[in-house]
Amino acid sequence: MIKKIIFSTLLFTSCFVAADTESEIQKLKDTSQNSLLAYEIVASLTREVGPRIAGSEGDKKAVAWAEAKLQSLGFDKVYKQPVRVRNWSRGLADASILAPFEHQLVVTALGGSVATPDKGIVAEVVMVDSLEDLKTRSVEEIKDKIVFINKRMERDRAGRGYGPVVIGRSRGAIEAAMLEAQAVIIRSVGTAQSRFAHTGAMQYNPEVEKIPAGALSNADADTLEYMFSKQQPVKMHLNVQAKEHGWQTSYNVIGEITGSAKPEEIVLIAAHLDSWDEGTGALDDGAGVGIVTAAASLIKSTLGAAERTIRVVLYANEEFGLVGAKEYAKANAEELGQIIVAAESDFGAGKIYQLDTRFASDALPFVKELHKHLAPLGIAEGTNTATGGPDISMLPAKGVPVVSLRQDGTHYFDYHHTPNDTLDKIAPDDIQQNQTAYAVFTWLMANSAVDPRPAPALIK
Amino acid sequence: MIKKIIFSTLLFTSCFVAADTESEIQKLKDTSQNSLLAYEIVASLTREVGPRIAGSEGDKKAVAWAEAKLQSLGFDKVYKQPVRVRNWSRGLADASILAPFEHQLVVTALGGSVATPDKGIVAEVVMVDSLEDLKTRSVEEIKDKIVFINKRMERDRAGRGYGPVVIGRSRGAIEAAMLEAQAVIIRSVGTAQSRFAHTGAMQYNPEVEKIPAGALSNADADTLEYMFSKQQPVKMHLNVQAKEHGWQTSYNVIGEITGSAKPEEIVLIAAHLDSWDEGTGALDDGAGVGIVTAAASLIKSTLGAAERTIRVVLYANEEFGLVGAKEYAKANAEELGQIIVAAESDFGAGKIYQLDTRFASDALPFVKELHKHLAPLGIAEGTNTATGGPDISMLPAKGVPVVSLRQDGTHYFDYHHTPNDTLDKIAPDDIQQNQTAYAVFTWLMANSAVDPRPAPALIK
Ligand SMILES: [Zn+2]
Ligand SMILES: [Zn+2]
Ligand SMILES: [Zn+2]
Ligand SMILES: [Zn+2]
């Protein structure tokens, strides 16, 4: 066993990493630790473009902004890949309790919701604990009512509170409509105790009637919950004026630093360019755009091109179902095998605390090399079961190795998908650590002979 | 010196405090520490009534609610005192940057602002650091512009950051109009880095043109500030549709527990019933209403009447210039001399950490007695220079002794005067400590022979 480790160590020291790696990495770290480039990129995107929901004017501006930004930052190639997107607009949303006490609520439409009739609807509210609870109810109980799914999200560094709650957001309208409800409202999928409602995508089922869907702020969900303590019928007025505007063309925007020795081999680092419409998409996902763009740009300006090509992909329309990412995988199907590794930053700007990989076993010794350089940034060793960020989540199944540079998401869901997702939520120190980590990781992967392909299969 | 202290101690032990005080206080504390009455009162007010700006329907509901609540809590006398109030409504407010980059901003009207023309105004923005800075500018520079007062409030436990900044809110429109500005907007007077704008009262001067006045959220003030870094003219669209609706009658609502031995001597504990219109006035000042009402009610239910009368005053219209408090002082002018002491709770629900008094020197030994019973609640000795809460601030000049039970206000200005001032910002433990402290203080003052009158004069 000891022999094997020593052998591996020798192997990767001699084969994977060029002799001058140490000094290059040090130079890159020094540059990054004196640069706020990632922060400045997010500042520019959030303030000069602002919100950029897929297919909107803001989205078009964001695409032009991204092309110009990548060009100005010294990428060798900048190009776009068209993506057809549905354009949906939120419009006004208004909710108030009429009985047992009148009370105005803060509500927002879920992304993709249909509208109510012009003047809204008035109906009795049925409160359920969760989507699972809703599924146990009968048509008699739910018919013509507004369903209120009152499940609270738990705070967690890794965001593990999201999955169990977001299912109510995405599938609530389907399950409620199957029981003939008029509409569904959910307690926001968010951890802040505040008066911001959290939006996010929801789904319909072509077999089931489409009913309007909204989210209440946590503070207002508390208020609605309180009304039920009075043992009287709870009546609500709900008005959602969301609209579909048909199809538009958006773009994945791509910047490359061409590899000096093996340009056909690609290290792909990604984020998504679109955002929801109410905030300015600073944490989701301006931060990712800033981090991966800055990491590549700082490599170029500090060390020049790596042996492999570094490709930054800023995906279109992540929010409505990974549309840009799916298009990328389709349009680039032939070339996916040339991706050495893919990583996406899409979890805010909290410090990275762990690196997970999904590498072929031959390449696992190289993970030690990665960790040697990432440990001083406070990044611990993780597992080899990474699945990557949302836009690269379909790649491991095609054999593409991925990593997850896991960020501290303790406060991410305080702001996620709300008007309060703005630049001031990003600590310059934190995003700088992300920038440094991505730069170091990307350089090590792009300038070594390691080959983590093919990614081990996902075990369901 | 030592002799004098011993003498004083004997004096207050024998004269000020009845023999069974210890056990009474213990009983009161035990009851309070098992009661969430203050919290429940705020929950009822904020959810069953909600916002209650002076003269509004909500205000009328709040008055009816307060009468019913005091009656149900066993007060011996419940009555109202009419107060004439102006009714103002916020209406829509909308602000966007047009150049150098288009950006939608979160803005709210300051309380009392006039409206812009129907479609708003478009003007170049001049940024100043503070009201003092504005005063140094010339008409040439300011004429026809929108003035942006960009002064940030500092966080402080005692709220000392408020005074230096709020002057820009209250007097900004006057100073800007004197320089012929079209409008004034301020960085919110608030400590949260968030997307809520903080409203609050502003003033006009009959000699000077009235111009519209608004506040930007801190996040949006950051964005506007950023625009100035581009060295290009900053242009803005501002629309404020606030309205005056003339005079209405509101009420100070008063509840008393009649004194058993000296009913003509009054221990007055107060809060204000009105609130701003966007939140539900939980911290400002539902908390105060809950604290003083619960304190008096728990005294009655636990120990019965005290020797002196305990009077709970829930003032009308604090927010637009202490209107209810001024009316109280006028209508009760003859009787002010009978007030033994007055205290107001109007700084949220943070734990009380210090007791300040304004007592005649003869009564200072009794402050030791107060502290003996308050210290176990974590309340330290303060000074004898208290000025009381806003609605009792005019009483010391008339010789009425006041105290300040000083609350931890570290987070008060995160929510103050925003839509986010809701019940969830109150920690049940914290408001319970306030309730206990007010109950203990009120009982000790109402059931002893101490006479702190007249209050020492204020030294300017
Ligand atoms: Zn995202
Ligand atoms: Zn998102
Ligand atoms: Zn107040
Ligand atoms: Zn106030």
Same domain, residue pair A330 and A442: yes
DSSP letter, residue B278: S
- Taking the CA of B347 as reference, the closest ligand is 3
- B452 belongs to a structural domain: no
Pairing of the two strands A103-105 and A107-109: unpaired
- How large is the ipTM? 0.93
How far is the alpha carbon of A434 from chain B, nearest alpha carbon, in Å? 22
Which one of the listed residues A256, A278, A318, A327 is annotated catalytic? A318
Asked if the Cβ–Cβ distance from A423 to B101 is below 8 Å, we say no
| Alpha carbons within 13 A on the beta-carbon side of B411 | 11
Asked if the Cβ–Cβ distance from A419 to B50 is below 8 Å, we say no
Residues in chain B: 460
Interface test with B, best of A48, A92, A187, A416 (most B CBs within 10 A): A48
**Tell me, what CATH number does B96's domain have?**
3.50.30.30
Asked if the Cβ–Cβ distance from B103 to A50 is below 8 Å, we say yes
- A43 belongs to a structural domain: yes
pLDDT of chain A along its 460 residues, tens only? Answer: 344 444 444 444 444 555 588 999 999 999 999 999 999 999 999 999 999 999 999 999 999 999 999 999 999 999 999 999 999 999 999 999 999 999 999 999 999 999 999 999 999 999 999 999 999 999 999 999 999 999 999 999 999 999 999 999 999 999 999 999 999 999 999 999 999 999 999 999 999 999 999 999 999 999 999 999 999 999 999 999 999 999 999 999 999 999 999 999 999 999 999 999 999 999 999 999 999 999 999 999 999 999 999 999 999 999 999 999 999 999 999 999 999 999 999 999 999 999 999 999 999 999 999 999 999 999 999 999 999 999 999 999 999 999 999 999 999 999 999 999 999 999 999 999 999 999 999 999 999 999 999 999 876 5
Asked if the Cβ–Cβ distance from A222 to B101 is below 8 Å, we say no
Q: Which residue of A has its CA nearest to B99?
A: A48
pLDDT tens column, B203-241: 999 999 999 999 999 999 999 999 999 999 999 999 999
Question: What is the reported pLDDT for A146?
Answer: 98
Instruction: Return d(Cα A363, Cα A354) in angstroms, integer.
Output: 18
- B453 belongs to a structural domain: no
CA of B30 to the centre of ligand 3 (A): 29
- B383 belongs to a structural domain: yes
Asked if the Cβ–Cβ distance from B104 to A420 is below 8 Å, we say no
Q: Does A276 touch chain B (CB under 8 A)?
A: no
Q: Is the dihedral of CA B240, B241, B247, B248 positive or negative?
A: negative
Show the tokens assigned to B109: 């009207």
Q: What is the total count of domains within chain B? A: 2
Helix (H, G, I), strand (E, B) or coil at A302: helix
B129: domain range?
A: 91-241
Which residues in chain B touch residue A420, judged by CB atoms under 8 angstroms apart? 194-195, 219
Phi-psi region of B155 (alpha: psi -120 to 50; beta: other; left: phi over 0): beta
Same domain, residue pair A196 and A301: no
How far is the alpha carbon of A101 from chain B, nearest alpha carbon, in Å? 5
Question: What is the reported pLDDT for B20?
Answer: 84
Instruction: Return d(Cα B414, Cα B43) in angstroms, integer.
Output: 20
Q: Which of B140, B322, B148, B138 is nearest to B225 (CA)?
A: B148
Interface test with A, best of B420, B421, B423, B425 (most A CBs within 10 A): B420
Domain boundary among A185, A212, A241: A241
- A327 belongs to a structural domain: yes
Residue given tokens 């010794």 in the structure block: A365
Same domain, residue pair B40 and B114: no
* Cβ contact A147:A181 at 8 Å: yes
Closest Cβ opposite residue B222 in set A48, A104, A424: A424
Asked if the Cβ–Cβ distance from B47 to A424 is below 8 Å, we say no
Instruction: Return d(Cα B145, Cα B150) in angstroms, integer.
Output: 15
Same domain, residue pair B32 and B148: no
Which residues in chain A touch residue B53, judged by CB atoms under 8 angstroms apart? none
Q: Is A318 a known active-site residue?
A: yes
Instruction: Return d(Cα B438, Cα B342) in angstroms, integer.
Output: 11
Question: What is the reported pLDDT for A2?
Answer: 42
Which one of the listed residues B67, B318, B344, B369 is annotated catalytic? B318
Asked if the Cβ–Cβ distance from A103 to B218 is below 8 Å, we say no
* Cβ contact B284:B413 at 8 Å: no
Question: What is the reported pLDDT for B439?
Answer: 98
Show the tokens assigned to B213: 């006045």
Same domain, residue pair A71 and A204: no
How far is the alpha carbon of B317 from chain A, nearest alpha carbon, in Å? 21
DSSP letter, residue B206: T
Same domain, residue pair B295 and B330: yes
Burial of B449 (0-12, 13-18, 19+ CB in 10 A): middle
Give whole-number Cα distances, A218 to A192, A414, B22, B73, B278, in Å. Answer: 7, 10, 43, 31, 16
Q: Does A101 touch chain B (CB under 8 A)?
A: yes
CA of A319 to the centre of ligand 2 (A): 5
**Tell me, what CATH number does A407's domain have?**
3.40.630.10
Domain boundary among B212, B241, B270: B241
Same domain, residue pair A222 and A148: yes
Same domain, residue pair A397 and A432: yes
Instruction: Return d(Cα B343, Cα B232) in angstroms, integer.
Output: 52
Give whole-number Cα distances, B218 to A45, A161, B222, B281, in Å. Answer: 19, 29, 6, 20
Q: Which of A125, A421, A373 is nearest to B219 (CA)?
A: A421
Same domain, residue pair B174 and B322: no
Show the tokens assigned to B327: 């009316």
Question: What is the reported pLDDT for B16?
Answer: 55
Instruction: Return d(Cα A242, Cα A41) in angstroms, integer.
Output: 31
Instruction: Return d(Cα B59, Cα B45) in angstroms, integer.
Output: 11
Instruction: Return d(Cα B149, Cα B147) in angstroms, integer.
Output: 6
Pairing of the two strands B235-240 and A146-149: unpaired
Q: Which residue of A has its CA nearest to B222?
A: A424
Domain boundary among B241, B268, B300: B241
Question: What is the reported pLDDT for A248?
Answer: 96
Backbone angles phi, psi at A302, to 5 degrees: -95, -45
Residue ranges of chain B with per-residue pLDDT less than 50? 1-15
Show the tokens assigned to A163: 């999955």
Q: Does A103 touch chain B (CB under 8 A)?
A: yes
Same domain, residue pair B336 and B366: yes
Instruction: Return d(Cα B167, Cα B189) in angstroms, integer.
Output: 10
- B456 belongs to a structural domain: no
Same domain, residue pair A231 and A256: no
* Cβ contact B362:B11 at 8 Å: no
Closest Cβ opposite residue A101 in set B47, B226, B422: B47
Q: Is the dihedral of CA A82, A83, A86, A90 positive or negative?
A: negative
Same domain, residue pair B231 and B280: no
Question: What is the reported pLDDT for B17?
Answer: 56
* Chain Cα centroid distance, residue B177: 28
* Cβ contact B312:B254 at 8 Å: yes
Q: Which of B85, B110, B71, B300 is nearest to B190 (CA)?
A: B110
- B455 belongs to a structural domain: no
Task: Please report the number of interchain residue pairs, chain A to chain B, with beta-carbon separation below 8 angstroms.
Answer: 67
- B140 belongs to a structural domain: yes
Instruction: Return d(Cα B242, Cα B145) in angstroms, integer.
Output: 20
Asked if the Cβ–Cβ distance from A226 to B419 is below 8 Å, we say no
Question: What is the reported pLDDT for A13?
Answer: 45
